[in-house]
């Protein structure tokens, strides 16, 4: 009876921690999660009790919000080991842990290991949920981002196109996540030298963000920069400078003139104006 009472207390502590985390009261949430974990470790019938893994995962979320990636990774790995031991490889909780670990490893720059975990998560999700499920779209995006950073552009493009298709089908063509995928595809196409296709994707991403987020949103500024980069590559310097200036003006208003994004937009303008002048001098009239 005492053990059941303690478990009930742990459940209450965990629930309070979850509420506090949603309120962004992270220090207090951590304390309640920690209390819940201590009780669950003491009262569990086995070290492989899934409720212990649930608490490790919740604590990992807080550590991620604090940007404590190393500690977050430790907690997610502990959760994953419990889920895998209890349920096996072919279970949603195990797959979710693989995805979480892969995302953290990507943020740490451990791209090969990240790819391995994200691939495992994606394979499970496609098999269990089907290739058109929204969760699968996110998984395509995560794996595509890692492959892009690894320089595997063809594979990255395939996954980002898959993400775009799934998001467009599930969320619609005018959703911010669809715009994100359009932009991601555009970035890869630009790096492959497919400038006309890249330009079309970045222009669509810009238009979707303007409609779905509003014309003054910072992500609209990011789309102006992305479109400007493609236009610069195509030697369309006037159009590129116009995009960079719009981005600078928008971001200056949205995030303040001290923000690094504003400085980056300014550097783009200066570089592009220099290239424009160099080309003007190089092209002599007949």
Q: CA-CA distance, 186 to 179, in Å (whole number)? A: 10
Supply the DSSP symbol for 173: T
Length of the chain: 286
Task: Tell which residue, 164, 188, 162, 190, has the closest CA to residue 175.
Answer: 164
pLDDT tens over the chain, length 286 residues: 446 567 889 999 999 999 999 999 999 999 999 999 999 998 887 778 899 999 999 999 999 999 999 999 999 999 999 999 999 988 999 999 999 999 999 999 999 999 999 999 999 999 999 999 999 999 999 999 999 999 999 999 999 999 999 999 999 999 999 999 999 999 999 999 999 999 999 999 999 999 999 999 999 999 999 999 999 999 999 999 999 999 999 999 999 888 898 999 999 999 999 999 988 888 766 5
**Residues whose CB falls within 8 Å of the CB of residue 260, separated by 6 or more in sequence, listed in order:** none
Task: Output the pLDDT for position 2.
Answer: 45
pLDDT in tens, 34-50: 999 999 998 887 778 89
Q: How far is CA 18 from CA 11, 29, 114, in A?
A: 11, 7, 27
Task: Tell which residue, 187, 193, 199, has the closest CA to residue 163.
Answer: 187
**Residues whose CB falls within 8 Å of the CB of residue 205, separated by 6 or more in sequence, listed in order:** 179, 180, 182, 183, 186, 223, 226
pTM > 0.95: no
**Residues whose CB falls within 8 Å of the CB of residue 101, separated by 6 or more in sequence, listed in order:** 73, 76, 77, 80, 117
Report the sign of the C-alpha dihedral through residues 187, 188, 191, 192, in that order.
negative
- Cβ proximity of 266 and 248 under 8 Å: yes
**Residues whose CB falls within 8 Å of the CB of residue 91, separated by 6 or more in sequence, listed in order:** 83
Q: CA-CA distance, 14 to 29, in Å (whole number)? A: 9
Q: How far is CA 124 from CA 17, 35, 96, 141, in A?
A: 30, 33, 10, 15
pLDDT in tens, 69-120: 999 999 999 999 999 999 998 899 999 999 999 999 999 999 999 999 999 9
Query: Which domains occur in the chain, in start order?
Result: 198-280 (1.25.40.10)
Task: Output the pLDDT for position 111.
Answer: 98
């Amino acid at each position: 009876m005492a053990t059941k009472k303690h478990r009930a207390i742990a459940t209450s502590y965990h629930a309070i921690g979850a509420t506090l985390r949603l309120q962004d009261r992270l220090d207090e949430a951590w304390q309640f999660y920690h209390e819940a974990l201590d009780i669950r470790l003491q009262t569990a019938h086995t070290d492989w009790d899934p409720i212990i893994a649930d608490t490790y995962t919740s604590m990992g979320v807080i550590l991620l919000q604090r940007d404590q990636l190393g500690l977050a990774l430790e907690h997610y790995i502990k959760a994953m080991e419990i889920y895998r031991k209890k349920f096996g490889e072919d279970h949603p909780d195990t797959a979710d842990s693989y995805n979480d670990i892969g995302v953290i490893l990507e943020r740490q720059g451990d791209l090969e290991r990240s790819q391995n975990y994200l691939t495992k998560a994606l394979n499970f999700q496609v098999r269990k949920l089907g290739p058109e499920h929204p969760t699968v779209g996110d998984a395509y995006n995560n794996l595509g981002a890692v492959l892009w950073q690894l320089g595997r552009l063809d594979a990255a493009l395939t996954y980002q196109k898959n993400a775009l298709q799934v998001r467009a089908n599930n969320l619609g063509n005018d959703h911010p996540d669809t715009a994100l995928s359009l932009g991601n595809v555009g970035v890869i196409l630009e790096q492959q030298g497919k400038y006309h296709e890249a330009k079309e994707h970045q222009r669509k991403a810009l238009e979707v963000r303007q409609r779905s987020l509003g014309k003054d949103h910072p992500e609209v500024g990011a789309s102006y920069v992305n479109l400007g980069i493609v236009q610069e590559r195509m030697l369309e310097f006037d159009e590129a400078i116009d995009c960079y200036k719009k981005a600078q003006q928008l971001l200056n208003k949205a995030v303040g003139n001290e923000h690094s994004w504003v400085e980056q937009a300014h550097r783009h303008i200066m570089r592009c104006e220099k290239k424009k002048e160099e080309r003007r001098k190089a092209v002599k009239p007949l």
